[in-house]
Amino acid sequence: MDERAYVFTKDCLSTEHEIPFHVAARASIGVGGYAKAAFYPENLSKLILLIDEFKKHHQPFHVVGNMTNILPPDGRSEAVYLFTTKLKSVGMGRTVFAQAGVTSEELLDACVRHGKSGAEFLAGVPCTVGGAVYMNAGAGGKHIDDILESALVYHDGQIRVLKKEDCAYAYKESAFMRNGAIILGASFLLEDTDGESVEARRQAYLETRKRLPTGKSMGCVFKNPKDISAGKLIEGVGLKGFKFGGAYVSTEHANFVINGGNATAKDVRAVINVVKNAVLSQYGVILEEEIRYF
Ligand SMILES: Cc1cc2nc3c(=O)[nH]c(=O)nc-3n(C[C@H](O)[C@H](O)[C@H](O)COP(=O)(O)OP(=O)(O)OC[C@H]3O[C@@H](n4cnc5c(N)ncnc54)[C@H](O)[C@@H]3O)c2cc1C
């Protein structure tokens, strides 16, 4: 079947949606053209129903959270975006369970209320739980795999619990990048303590982030190579502030590419490619992107 011919069913249209979907309006880097549609399911059943529907009709789709680590394409795309941002339940028990759309801020609010410590390093990371579990998000030397017990996923038409050991975690890497499983939620192993100390640690992490650039970005573009920061290498090749079209290398943090206001995805890609080539020719180091290209 021609993908373009797929017309959304009543089931799809009973979920909040945008047709077409202006991608730049949601992506933190503020670039991207128009996609076929965006859907915002308000519960897991609706999310699964939409996934099944799109698979059945060979309709390409992306499951996304806050779109803070994604470089979408310019122009028109036939893809559909499935946002998890309305999946907001948090449950407190032996572990802390959060659905995919819970943001780091909402998770930490719950941790403060219930006196659960361990997730404070996520303070200020503009992620959802789904995006963080997929990316193995981290800050201050800690990563999701330090606190994850298991992930609840939808994979091959089945809902499953994947233990952390089955998530193949490494630095900014996970099995989800290869297996196509959709993260419905995650259970975190956190320590019981008092809310005030959780809030104090959260504020301390937020304090360390005050130096980060504030423009439209995807956070760090590149993974840090072993024993050196990507930012230092980019500084070393003299590309801080390098500009192409509307995109430039941040002057505050060289691993951030900023949309100065009117950048296109093509501009951002051009800056990334110049940086990669310069670092390779001067240092012989291949910088690997942390961001995801759609
Ligand atoms: C200003 C700024 C600061 C940042 N600081 C940090 C930082 O300190 N540390 C850090 O690690 N990152 C940082 N980031 C990057 C980003 O916030 C993280 O990678 C975050 O985990 C992405 O979460 P998200 O919800 O935005 O995911 P998205 O960007 O929406 O998605 C990222 C990837 O995960 C996939 N995905 C999302 N949800 C699901 C799901 N439910 N099931 C399956 N796949 C899914 C998407 O398809 C995509 O491939 C920063 C970004 C910005 C803009």
The structure's pTM equals 0.98
pLDDT tens-digit series, residues 33-90: 999 999 999 999 999 999 999 999 999 999 999 999 999 999 999 999 999 999 999 9
pLDDT, residue 5, reads 78
65 C-alpha to ligand 1 centroid (Å)? 7
pLDDT tens-digit series, residues 234-265: 999 999 999 999 999 999 999 999 999 999 99
pLDDT, residue 219, reads 98
pLDDT, residue 3, reads 52
118 C-alpha to ligand 1 centroid (Å)? 19
Of 125, 229, 292, 293, which is best to mutate to test ligand 1, by the most ligand atoms within 8 angstroms of its C-beta? 125
Checking if the pLDDT of 231 tops 90, the result is yes
Domain coordinates in residue numbering, the chain: 3-83, 90-208, 230-293
Select from 92, 93, 135, 138 the least CA-distant residue to 119. Answer: 138
Q: In this structure, which residue's CA is closest to atom 50 in ligand 1?
A: 219
pLDDT, residue 241, reads 98
CATH code at 90-208:
3.30.465.10
Instruction: Show contacts of 153-162: CB within 8 Å, 24+ apart.
Output: 153/181, 153/182, 153/183, 153/184, 154/47, 154/48, 154/51, 154/181, 154/182, 154/184, 155/179, 155/180, 155/181, 155/182, 157/52, 159/48, 159/184
Q: In this structure, which residue's CA is closest to atom 11 in ligand 1?
A: 137
1 C-alpha to ligand 1 centroid (Å)? 33
Q: Which range among 7-11, 42-46, 113-117, 174-178 shows the weakest confidence by mean pLDDT?
A: 7-11
Residues lining ligand 1, judged by CB closer than 6 Å?
28, 62-70, 84, 100, 125-128, 130-132, 134-135, 137-139, 176, 182-183, 217-219, 292
Distance in angstroms (rounded) separating the CA atoms of residues 160 and 48: 13
Select from 50, 92, 47 the least CA-distant residue to 65. Answer: 47
Q: In this structure, which residue's CA is closest to atom 32 in ligand 1?
A: 131
Q: Which range among 4-8, 115-119, 129-133 shows the weakest confidence by mean pLDDT?
A: 4-8
291 C-alpha to ligand 1 centroid (Å)? 8
pLDDT, residue 4, reads 62
Checking if the pLDDT of 232 tops 90, the result is yes
Backbone angles phi, psi at 258, to 5 degrees: -110, 140
Checking if the pLDDT of 1 tops 70, the result is no
Checking if the pLDDT of 175 tops 90, the result is yes
pLDDT, residue 138, reads 98
From 2.40.128.20, 3.20.20.450, 3.30.43.10, 3.30.420.40, which CATH number describes the 3-83 domain?
3.30.43.10
Question: What value does the mean pLDDT take over residues 175-193?
Answer: 98
Question: What value does the mean pLDDT take over residues 217-229?
Answer: 97
Distance in angstroms (rounded) separating the CA atoms of residues 112 and 185: 20
Select from 167, 284, 173 the least CA-distant residue to 237. Answer: 284
Task: Provide the edge-to-edge strand list for the sheet that holds 148-155.
Answer: 90-92, 96-99, 182-188, 148-155, 158-163
Domain 230-293 in the same topology as domain 90-208: no
68 C-alpha to ligand 1 centroid (Å)? 5
Q: In this structure, which residue's CA is closest to atom 9 in ligand 1?
A: 138
132 C-alpha to ligand 1 centroid (Å)? 5
In this prediction, residue 280 has a pLDDT band, given cuts at 50, 70 and 90, of very high
In this prediction, residue 288 has a pLDDT band, given cuts at 50, 70 and 90, of very high
Atom index in ligand 1 nearest the CA of residue 290 equals 19
Q: In this structure, which residue's CA is closest to atom 28 in ligand 1?
A: 67
From 3.30.310.50, 3.30.460.30, 3.20.20.210, 3.90.78.10, which CATH number describes the 230-293 domain?
3.90.78.10
